[in-house]
Amino acid sequence: MNLPGHPHVGYRGTELQVEQLGARELAQRFGTPLYVYSKQSMLDALAPWQRALRGRAHLLCYAMKANSNLAVLQLFAQAGCGFDIVSGGELERVLAVGADPRKIVFSGLGKTRTEMARALQVGVRCFNVESEAELEVLSEVAHGLGRRAPVSLRVNPDVDAKTHPYISTGLKDNKFGIAHERALATYRRAAELPGLEVVGIDCHIGSQITEIAPYLDALERVLDLVEAIEAAGLRLRHVDLGGGLGITYTDEAPPAADVLLAQLLARIDARGHGHRELLFEPGRSLVGNAGVLLSEVLYLKPGVDGGKSFCVVDAAMNDLMRPAMYQATMGIVATTLRDEPPRVYDVVGPVCESGDWLGRDRALAVRQGDVIAVLSAGAYGMSMASNYNSRGRAAEVLVDGAQAHLVRERESAAGLFAGEHLLS
């Protein structure tokens, strides 16, 4: 019995499995907390994007901030993907797996001169520029290296993606992008600068988007600008429509990628832009439901006088920040089904914060020593992990059928302070 939204995570009898391996057995073998990813889930999530774009000039750039493990990057590189990066560190990760720099799009609104120079030296495909000031600096860096930086301006269309305010990026009050009304003038300035080559236009309105309408609204505004920019004598080779497609955590019903793309492509064709190369930057939708976080139940703490009962586990907010940061609701299940009535618990970790919780009011039939699984943990789980309370980061395992590959070792105590120095 597979879990909703998780085609390769489900129960065989009473035991939860990831592909062909038991979750509890993985926890015993590799320890907890433990991130476990299904390889086939990632490939299955990528397939509708590739299928819908077949026959068109396009590039799918995996937004690696969602999950930047080297094995995950390697998997998508081998599947033909490019990459959307937002830092110099992400650039080095992509290069470490042998990805083609010509398939890398460098986004992010705070690029440093050092990051710009490194990206120019390796030959990234495009810089998604987010401010007029950034244009000037990038031109200066590129000109100093005797190069011209290929640029696409990220335009802020002032479209409400109807998502959490922390991950909404397309409204005029968000920090991202160049205001729609300033875009044409900024393109004219970009064309004047000696170190730049204008190649495209970019728009990204947010993350965990579960409706098609915001995408269509943003597309219309972007195509209006494309027409105005080309009427002014500039040529745009590609249109980058970002990513942000959501997944099912609880009861969300986001459109399938091919359904979303069918509507976008129909609108693009209807407006006479079907010849353009298209870029998309999916992240969460490729990896989110491919991952689970396994954690051991340390203690069960019953409530007093009708108060809360707590299921204390060994994973914490440093391992999975989404619930504390976004008040995100993520599925939590027992890895072994017990024939006994569940009790309602707040599932909490050991960190010294009352905000350290993984789930509120969850009905679970668990005992001390059991293992629970936090579902939909493949995106913005390990990539946002920290060492708060001097806790080592979790291990990561990639499951391929009946094989488990350790793709990140558990962080040791010595590793926590390996770069620190005592005073003389």
Annotated binding site: 244, 281-284, 322, 326, 353, 380
Give the integer Cα–Cα distance in Å for 188 and 367. Answer: 65
Q: What is the CA radius of gyration of the chain?
A: 23
- The single residue of 81, 126, 311, 352 carrying the catalytic annotation is 352
CB 231 within 8 A of CB 182: no
Helix axes 257-270, 213-231, angle to 10 degrees: 30
Residue 413 and residue 420 in contact, taking contact as beta carbons nearer than 8 Å: no
Cα 322 to Cα 129, 170, 225, 325, 405: the distances in Å are 28, 21, 35, 5, 25
Kindly write down the DSSP assignment for every residue of 135-167, as one continuous string: HHHHHHHHHHTT--EEEEEEEE------S-GGG
Q: Both tokens of residue 15?
A: 């035991």
- Binding-site positions for substrate read 284, 322, 326, 353, 380
| Residue 82: Cβ within 10 Å count | 24
DSSP 311-349: EEES--TTT--HHHHH-----EEESB--SS--EEEEEE-
Count, residues in the chain: 424
| Nearest Cα residue to 348 out of 297, 288, 294, 411 | 297
Structure tokens at 201: 């236009």
Residues contributing to the annotated binding site for pyridoxal 5'-phosphate: 244, 281-284, 380
Q: What angle do CA 24, 333, 76 make, to 5 degrees?
A: 75
User: Quick one: how far is CA 263 from the chain centroid?
Assistant: 23
Bridge partner list, 151? 127, 198
- Whole-Å CA distances, 407 to 151, 180, 381, 399, 403: 34, 42, 15, 10, 12
- Tell me if residue 126 is catalytic: no
How far, in whole angstroms, is CA 348 from its chain's centroid? 24
Helix (H, G, I), strand (E, B) or coil at 4: coil
Q: What distance in Å separates the CA atoms of residue 62 and residue 276, rounded to the nearest whole number?
A: 20
Which amino acids are annotated catalytic?
352
